[in-house]
Each structure stands twice: as structure tokens, then as C-alpha cells.
Structure 1
Amino acid sequence: MKYLLVREDDEGEDELWGRCANVEGLFVDPVPPPREVLTFRGCTPAGLLRDAVSRPGETTALLGNGYVQASDDTQVGWWELMDAVVLAHHPSRSDPSLVDVVVGAGVNGAEGGGFTPSEPSRFELFMGNSGSAGQCLRVDGLLAPRQAPAKIPMELIGCEPTERLLSALRRPRQWERDWAELWALDRTGQVMAHPAVGLGIGGARPSVLGGTLIDITLTDGGDDRPSPAARPVWESWYQGVPTVPNQWAPYSSQGRSEWLRLALHARKPRRPDRSGGVHHLEGRFVTDVPGLHCAMSEALAGPGGYFGWGMDAFRDCLCGGFGLTAPFTLIWHDADIARQAPADAVFASEGLLSYVEETVQVLEDVGVTVALA
């Protein structure tokens, strides 16, 4: 059995609901939100937005993924923007020193759909990892009501249900709004990951695997499922926590991000830290931000180790509790590969530093000696 269905009981203890041989629908891409056109009125552009509206003779520009934050004195709401593109821009009629910007994007209002700011309100745009892209007086179309995305079901194949799960199958409506975790096990029985899944049951039937096993349909497999691009990464980790360096290197950025997520799950409990010594970062494959953190984690925590999946998490790891603290020396081999990585894989920090430069600065700020080789 490769999967366990586990729910926290009333006392906060993990309770086994069933064992399953396989899962269909574990690896899915989320359904993208419909495309919309938003008009950002009276903007003071910064960062990526400023660059987009200042290009001579160009009206369109790709912004990427980000979010809009709207706030007043008492409330804050967030709307996620997917694959945002500047469609047009022109001086604002109310104040020619400001800019009106028309943006096309997929809009996910899950974190802001119920928020109606009072006047005056503040709107700020954040794009990628580059911080604020500017403030605006209002955003036409942002507060429109939106339907929640359709739920994507999941099939539990070859299940051995406990009495708890059998009871839920007899009274499915009792649990349709509740949640559990699906524990994915590697070949040694260790938990690789535990995404949340809904307990709404769409049906149960004798298993295609035969015997006394059953197959169960969950109406909502949750939003924490990995992408199909992550399947080869999971197959690698199924053999156990990696012990060979650079096994993450052949994967795409998406696969490398999933590698980091599995490394976080596999991380040992917080333990006493050591300091000192010389650590070597193998930079041959650092061609994107996830690759940088895969290589950094390997350099500081060994193959399959974890030392942050992004800049904020990396800073947290340097503060202690992850096995290593400053002072120590880091030799970054083939650092020029990261410096020359494609532009879309190296993000700016407040428009001043590349991601690589910021990483070096963060290390040096806590007392690490960095040598770029």
C-alpha cells in the first residue's frame, strides 16, 4: 500500500481511515481562471510596470504572475493575477502625471472575493519576486463577483478501509465539507508528502484490483496536488531520500520546485546546529531560481537535504535549526552559469540586485564567507 488516508481526530491525533494501493488524479494542473481585462486607474508605476509603460513605441508587455492588494483602514484583500499582460497605457485623464494601464490576466479572487474596500482605498500591484510594481487609485473590474473554480475529483484505488471510513461511506453527507490528508509513502514506508484532500465522497465500488478492496471517488482532491510534470520527481523520491548529488539537475523549473517541496517534507526534525568548515556549491546546473536552491540545499545539507525553497525560507534556514549556522565558508563553483542564466529565471530584488547577487548578500550579512569560483 503506497498511500494512507489520515484525518485528525477531535483530540488532534492522526487517525488512519484507510490504506490505498494507488491514486488516480493525484497529479493534475489546476484549471486556470478565465482571462479578464482590468484597468488600473491613476497609477504611479514602479519596477516591472514602470519598465512596461516606459518602452518607446511599445504598448504591450508581459508582466507574468503577481497579485493586487487592496486595503483601507480596516481591511486588506488580495487578488492573484496569472500571466498578466499590459495591453495599453496612456496618461490618466484626472492627472496626466499618473498613468492608466489596461491589463489582461487570469484573476483568482479566492483571497479577496469577499472584500469591498471603502473610499478612499489603496491598490498596490506586486509582480513576481521583484516587489511592488506601483500603486493605483482604483482598479476597474477587480471587484466583480467570480465563480469558484471547478473541483477536480480524485480516485482512491485498491483501498482497505478502516471502520471510520466505512462509516463515512454509509453516511457521506456528514463528511462532505471535511478534510483529511493523503500520506504518500516511499518504498521504505516513510511519508514523502501529505496533500490535503476533501472527504466529499462521490461513490464507492469493488476495486479494479479485485479481492475485498474498494475504489473510492473523492469529489475534491484539493488544491495541493503536484503537477503532472512532478511525476518523475516523485518516482525518484519513491526509491528513498536521494543520496547522490545533482539528481535534481535534469528536471525543469517546475520539477526542481517539486524536488524542494519533497526535500522539505523529508527534512529531519530541528536539531543542534554546527558551524565552521568549507562547503562547496556545484553551480553547473544553476540555471533558474529553483535550481539555485536545490544546489544550495545540497551544498549545506547534503543530497536530498533542504535549506530553503525561496529567499524568505533561505533566510529562515540561516537563522538556525537546519543543521548549519554561520560562520562558515561557501565556495560557489561555476558561478558564472547562474549569472548568465536566462533573464526570465533570474529575478530582480527591488530593481537593484539579481537573485544571485541577493543570495550572496544574504549569506555575507549573516557572516558566511562566499568565494565565487
Structure 2
Amino acid sequence: MTISGSDVPLYRLVEEESGRVIIAAREINGFFVESDDVESEDILILGSAREPLRLGKDLTDVELRVVNSAGEAIGSYYIGRVGLRSTFEGKGCVGEGGFVATFYGHACPYVAAGAIWRRWASGSPIAKGEWVEYPVESHDSWLHVVQNSWFETGHAAKRYGVGEICVIDGRQILGESSFYCALGESVNGPGGYFGSTLDGLADCLASSQNSGAPFELVWERFSDAQERMGALLAASAIDVLREFCVNVALR
């Protein structure tokens, strides 16, 4: 397992009820895993404790928070029980050690999410279409970060944009996750969320009914997207949109 990370803390292990910070970490290795590798192995926490900790005693009611460069929470995962097994020192670098821990099988099945979280935490605004620059196999991780951060930062499942016309480009849609990345951005701007499943899309549309006039969705190069995301999903998404009075124009 590779040990790496910047000097800026990206994660905090906190006691959920009190918000007390237990460990501040530059990196968490072994938590973000391939989707078929749900049983995580040892977790390497590159960071330091805010107070003395006793190895071998489990921490309880633990939440893993992702924080940005200003120290504000932008994402979270409820872990529950964390076992601290041992400590380690960084090779030749003072202060670059940390803990070997177990999250008792709790893992996040989005392997690229760690790198994407670091990008989101940098403080630089997310650019329009930035998600397209990532490999298609990372689009599910981008969508996961979008959804997690959207709710963690106080947003609701609804439309915040005020534009009457939203546009998505079928050339950017390479699968189901790509579709929801494109849709969320078109409706709520870069980094915006507007569903990650058909049920989630319906929730967003239902919550948006009283927030403004119905909008039009212009789906450019629809045939390109339909082929890659699947005709059934494309048709189902259009049905859901039209059910909530969205005018969908296919081009």
C-alpha cells in the first residue's frame, strides 16, 4: 500500500455526537477501494492525534469528515467503530507517520474518490466540464463526491439554477454516471447535483416544483449518449423528466 499525501489535512476522524476531533490526517489509504473489494484491509491514517490515544482500544461513534483548505467540512462518512492497531513513522520525515487501523470492513467502493476529494478541497472553483477530463471509469467516483458533498454542505435535492434552458452534450455521456454528472452540472452548475439514480432524479424534480417555472432540457447529440448509456435508461430518464413537466428537446 502506497503511503502518500500532502501536508494539508484533508480528513478528520471525529466523535460524531460531540464533534470532537480525534485525529487530523493528510491521507487515508485503504478506505477508497474498487467496487468489488468491499472488505477493506488495514487502513493507514497519515496524521496525528489531537490527544493521547491508547492503542488496542476501539474508538466508537466515529465519523470520517473530509475538510477543505479552510477547515470546513465538505464530505462525511459514518464509520462507527475504529480500531487503532499500531503506529508508524514516516521514512526519514519527522511528523509524517500515523496509525495502522481497522474500520471493521467499512470501505468506500469508489476508488478514485480520494483523489477527487483532494481536488474539491483545494479551494479552487470546480470548472465547467472538469469531470469530463477524468477517465470514464472515474465518473462514478466523481458523481459520488458530488452527491456526498452536496448534502454535507447544506444543499437539498432540488434545482437551484434559475436558467430556463439547461443543455447537456451527448458526446460527454459515456455511461450512467456520466449522464448524472452532466445533468447535475447543467441544472445546478459545476459540481452540482440533480440525482444519481432515477429515484434520486424524481426526488430532485419533485422538490423543485415550487421553486420556479419548469425548465427545458436540451439534450444535444442524444443518439451518441443513448448508445453508450443504454436505450432503456435514456428513455426512462426522459419519462421521469417529462412526468415533472420538463420539456426535453432531443437533438
User: 2:216 — aligned with what?
Assistant: 329
User: 2:174 — aligned with what?
Assistant: 287
Residue 182 (1) aligns with residue 71 (2): no
Residue 269 (1) aligns with residue 151 (2): no
Q: Deviations over 1:123-143 (max 9, x none)?
A: xxxxxxxxxxxxxxxxxxxxx
Counterpart residue type for residue 256 of structure 1: H
- For this pair of structures, how many residues does the alignment match? 237
Aligned equivalents of 1:151, 1:354: Cα separation in 2: 34
Counterpart residue type for residue 182 of structure 1: L
Q: Deviations over 1:207-256 (max 9, x none)?
A: 55425x75211123643325444454334323347532211113344411
Cα deviation, residue 13, structure 1? 3.1
Counterpart residue type for residue 363 of structure 1: L
Aligned equivalents of 1:30, 1:270: Cα separation in 2: 27
1:255 to 118, 135, 138: 138
What secondary structure does 1:284 align onto? helix
Counterpart residue type for residue 50 of structure 2: T
Q: Is the 8 A contact 1:199 1:218 kept in 2?
A: yes
Q: Deviations over 1:70-95 (max 9, x none)?
A: xxxxxxxxxxxxxxxxxxxxxxxxxx
Q: Deviations over 1:141-189 (max 9, x none)?
A: xxxxxxxx86511111231x233xx24x16x33x26x351222223343
Residue 371 (1) aligns with residue 234 (2): no
Alignment RMSD: 3.1
Aligned equivalents of 2:177, 2:39: Cα separation in 1: 29
Cα deviation, residue 264, structure 1? 1.6
Return 5+ residue gaps in structure 2 as ranges: 1-8
User: 1:162 — aligned with what?
Assistant: 50
1:210 to 94, 97, 105: 94
User: 1:117 — aligned with what?
Assistant: none
Closer, same or farther in 2 for the Cα pair 1:6/1:370, shift >3 Å?
A: same
Counterpart residue type for residue 183 of structure 1: R
Q: Is the 8 A contact 1:319 1:325 kept in 2?
A: no
Cα deviation, residue 359, structure 1? 0.9
Closer, same or farther in 2 for the Cα pair 1:287/1:227, shift >3 Å?
A: closer
Counterpart residue type for residue 243 of structure 1: I
Counterpart residue type for residue 170 of structure 2: G
Return 5+ residue gaps in structure 1 as ranges: 33-148, 347-352
What secondary structure does 1:371 align onto? strand
Quick check: 304-313 or 240-249, which moved more? 240-249
1:355 to 233, 236, 241: 233
Bigger Cα Rg? 1
Considering fraction of residues, name the structure with more helix.
2
What secondary structure does 2:240 align onto? helix
What secondary structure does 1:14 align onto? coil
Residue 306 (1) aligns with residue 169 (2): no
User: 2:75 — aligned with what?
Assistant: 193
Residue 316 (1) aligns with residue 203 (2): yes
Cα deviation, residue 325, structure 1? 5.7
What secondary structure does 1:332 align onto? strand
Counterpart residue type for residue 154 of structure 2: P
Q: Is the 8 A contact 1:276 1:329 kept in 2?
A: no
Q: Is the 8 A contact 2:110 2:140 kept in 1?
A: no
What secondary structure does 1:181 align onto? strand
Closer, same or farther in 2 for the Cα pair 1:6/1:288, shift >3 Å?
A: same
Aligned equivalents of 1:150, 1:310: Cα separation in 2: 25
Residue 25 (1) aligns with residue 25 (2): no
Aligned equivalents of 2:163, 2:113: Cα separation in 1: 35
Q: Deviations over 1:290-345 (max 9, x none)?
A: 1110110011101110111111111111111699665111111111211222xxx4
Closer, same or farther in 2 for the Cα pair 1:186/1:244, shift >3 Å?
A: same
Aligned equivalents of 1:322, 1:266: Cα separation in 2: 23
Aligned equivalents of 2:210, 2:124: Cα separation in 1: 17
Closer, same or farther in 2 for the Cα pair 1:227/1:281, shift >3 Å?
A: closer
User: 1:146 — aligned with what?
Assistant: none
Q: TM-score, normalised by structure 2?
A: 0.79
Closer, same or farther in 2 for the Cα pair 1:222/1:150, shift >3 Å?
A: closer
1:245 to 128, 131, 147: 128
Q: Percent identity?
A: 24
Q: Is the 8 A contact 1:192 1:262 kept in 2?
A: no
